Amino acid sequence: MGAGAIGGTLAAHMVQAGHDVLLCDAAADHVEAVNRDGLRIEGPVAQLHVRVPAVLPADLPDRIDRAVIAVKAHHTRAAVEPLVERLAPDGVVLTVQNGLTADVLVELLGEERVVSSFVNIGADYLEPGRILQGNVAAFRVGELHGGEITPRVRELVEVLPYAQATDNVLGYLWGKEAYGAMLWAGAVSDLTIAESLERPEYRPLMVALAREVLSQSPVPVESFDGFEPDDLEGSLDRLAAFNRRSAKQYSGIYRDLVVRRRKTEIDSQLEDLRGPIFARIGAIVHDIEDGRREVSTANLDELASYAASLPTP
């Protein structure tokens, strides 16, 4: 459910490995292009051209046993609702989304049918039927409440590319929330991800922002791809180096604001995260979405000044 950057990348690798996959996407031009010409994955990681059937949500089959939700957070409910009557009694749905979206799946489908994951793979939707995979990065699958690595988690890990099982998926997700908050800050500027992370004038902002988010985590936070919750200063250098090695130089947030000019996931994120710095980021993103601001380093300068004016926790 959702055949864009992440959904399309995962699906293409699964098809290449011999698994039976059906794509579902709300974009009719993307569905048409995939059915007509196949799905192409481009970039330095892999050059794939796979034949895979694709449908619009209205054309889903009557029974679904396994589903992967790979849509933007604010489209979660619309993507999951078609599964309510179609998911098999013992069916499983996996979310590979940004943010803490599992509560919507649990509300609609029941907790016993939902598995969560953390995905840090960088990919971009280029045009109908074409996706750029920029890197290979951490991908962890686990039960919502941690603990035992169950047979269904092992089953999903077996068929998904790059996936590993974890007994603390929420710890990875909160790490991604902290890293993601830094990406949100950088996205209001025209700097690349690496530039926004490594420039000295923005380091205090990025560290303060990450601390603001990490203070809200209900579980121990996990490390990944250079991010270490106990070494945020060092994490900035490691994450900058990680992103410099990727063909994806700008975040999906930036692309939503500048390239695709569409609504971002900011409202879903503001529901998950509290704190004055992230609230200020949300206000700036809303201004950009509504045409009251342009994406510019001046926005990042404003954020840095604001964070410096706050009392030290």
239-269 confidence digits (pLDDT tens): 999 999 999 999 999 999 999 999 999 999 9
Segment 297-306 mean pLDDT: 98
> Measuring CA to CA, how many Å separate 67 from each of 4, 42, 64, 156, 233?
15, 24, 7, 10, 38
Q: Which ranges of 93-231 does DSSP label H, i.e. alpha helix?
A: 102-109, 151-159, 169-187, 193-198, 203-214
User: How much is the average pLDDT of 206-232?
Assistant: 98
Tokens of 24: 């579902």
pLDDT at 33 over 90: yes
Tokens of 306: 């604001």
Whether residue 313 has pLDDT greater than 80: no
The whole-number pLDDT of residue 36 equals 98
* Per-residue pLDDT at 91 exceeds 90: yes
Contact between residue 184 and residue 253 where contact means Cβ atoms under 8 Å apart: yes
Q: Which pLDDT value is given to residue 144?
A: 94
Can you give the C-alpha Rg of the chain in angstroms? 19
What pLDDT does residue 312 have? 82
pLDDT above 70 covers a percentage of the chain that reads 100
Instruction: Say yes or no to pLDDT of 218 above 80.
Output: yes
Q: Which two tokens stand for residue 45?
A: 């990681």
Model pTM? 0.96
> Could you report the per-residue pLDDT of 171-217, keeping only the tens digit for each?
999 999 999 999 999 999 999 999 999 999 999 999 999 999 999 99
Coil, strand or helix: which one is 287? helix
